[in-house]
Amino acid sequence: MVGIGIAGFALALALSLALTPLVKKFAVKIGAMDVPDHRKVHTRIMPRMGGLAIYAAFTATILLFLPWLPDRLLSDHDENLIRGLLVGGTMIVLLGALDDRFQLNAKLKFLVQIAAACVVVFGFDIKINLVNIPFGSAMQPMGDWLSIPLTIFWIVGVTNAINLIDGLDGLAAGVSGIAIGTILVMAALMGQGSVILLSAVLLGGVVGFLFFNFHPAKIFMGDSGSLFLGFALATLSMLGFKQITVVSFVTPILIIGVPLSDTFFAIVRRWVQKKPIFAPDKGHLHHRLQQLGFSHRKTVLIIYGIAAFFGACAIVQSVATTSGMGNWVTFVVICVLMFLLQIGAEIIGIVDKTKRPVIDFVGRLFLKQQTNTRSK
């Protein structure tokens, strides 16, 4: 299966490299252009809709390779996963492409995202129905009353989380690529042939597009790309909820930790500032790093590093679970990440630029300890 994955990656990479310039010309011809405004970092009018190249490279490669896959590698669940990803992904890409050109209403976009998630859940029976809660004795089954809304919430939430971080050249594509690479490594460790192929092909499409999207970008992926990658990641990462005794509840969250944490802090920030939750602002992770003085490229590379750290934690946690140490490793990983996330958020001011409760508390403890030491 490794050979098929490598071949799939290479073909998708080649197709993405060939298709992206064509998509750029198409975007310019139909007027799918991104115009700078007060919320955006770029200063030039740029063609978008680059996600069409990623989608086309991915879909063409998968459709070409599927007939050649041995039957033993494709269970009924695997076939449903692929079909659900292709059908739902097509709906999402069409939605994103129309939005790239016509700037659709936010409510309409949200409804179509829910519809695409429902296609995956009801049309292809892909849903979160087993979950391994840390320190639980076994996988806990969930009824449809919980699994269906949870799955829809997961797909729509992750789809929009990727879209929210698409603010700098190469940022959303690179972070998505790291998350896809994490899923690829985990699928290889678990021997999941179909997911190896899907992840390798999707990664090839993303890497090919990054040649044109990394700073200074020649084309943006637009909503057609960020929404599709978010949808694909949400669907593929649900593998973590399906593998009994292999991974725990937190693994899929770790895989896409950067966009999810950025979205979480955005919601908290807007709540603290008494602003509408969906109101756009310039307080996201990449905005704050740039405001601290980091260049465009360094900001992107820093976030790549954070995404890679999350991915490494997911892999370590997964490997530990298979060796029987998953509960304690999960507990330690969660505690360490929560502490680091809070400290990092306070340092860069992603929620509030003046309030730093944890840093101030640690500082007071340190000063108190220093005072006690001197008094002795």
> Are 237 and 172 in contact, with CB atoms under 8 Å apart?
no
* Amino acid symbol at 307: A
Among 330, 303, 304, 307, residue whose Cα is nearest residue 319:
330
327 is in an annotated binding site: no
From the CB of residue 134, how many other CB atoms can be counted at a distance below 10 Å?
17
> Are 173 and 57 in contact, with CB atoms under 8 Å apart?
no
**Distance between CA 243 and CA 132 in Å, rounded?**
9
CA distances from 116 to 86, 120, 233, 283, 322 (A): 10, 7, 14, 30, 33
H or E element: which one contains 162? helix 144-164
User: What is the DSSP secondary structure assignment for residue 219, as one 8-state letter?
Assistant: S
> Are 98 and 92 in contact, with CB atoms under 8 Å apart?
no
**Distance between CA 118 and CA 129 in Å, rounded?**
15
**Distance between CA 97 and CA 67 in Å, rounded?**
29
Among 45, 43, 12, 44, residue whose Cα is nearest residue 27:
45
Among 128, 152, 162, 186, residue whose Cα is nearest residue 54:
162
In DSSP terms, which residues pair with 130 in a beta bridge?
141
**Distance between CA 56 and CA 65 in Å, rounded?**
14
163 is in an annotated binding site: yes
Pairing of β 130-131 and β 140-141:
antiparallel
Phi and psi at 367, nearest 5°, equal: -65, -40
Residue ranges of the binding site for Mg(2+)? 163, 223
Residue ranges of the binding site? 163, 223
